[in-house]
Structure 1
Amino acid sequence: MAGRPVHTFEVVRTEQLTPHIVRVVLGGKGFDTFTPNGNTDSYVKLVFVADDVDVST
């Protein structure tokens, strides 16, 4: 989806709510540039990467 900003967050903590649902709490500098809007809670795309993957680009 071209034109959409990318924000990088850190996983602060996780909580297993049910056998199939995990609450993920995010934090980090990604919130410095994140601006909520009317559709913020309608759609997000999460990409989880291993610690050794460079996501600085």
Structure 2
Amino acid sequence: MDRIYMNHRRGERRIHVEIEEQEIAELLDSRDGAAARRLDEILRTAQRAFAGGQS
């Protein structure tokens, strides 16, 4: 399960995503575009979660 959270530091907003090591390895080994689709999904989830500066 991914964990996505916002960190405010020195006036910057940073989104952090934690992904299990095994999932990363599987995505890197894939040759069918799964990694790009998964990254897109994660980034869109983060964008929805923190749109408008909400945390």
Higher helix share: 2
Instruction: Check whether TM > 0.5.
Output: no
Query: What's the TM-score, normalizing by structure 1?
Result: 0.30
Identify which of structures 1 and 2 has the higher relative contact order when contacts are C-alpha pairs closer than 8 Å and 6+ apart: 2
Query: What's the TM-score, normalizing by structure 2?
Result: 0.30
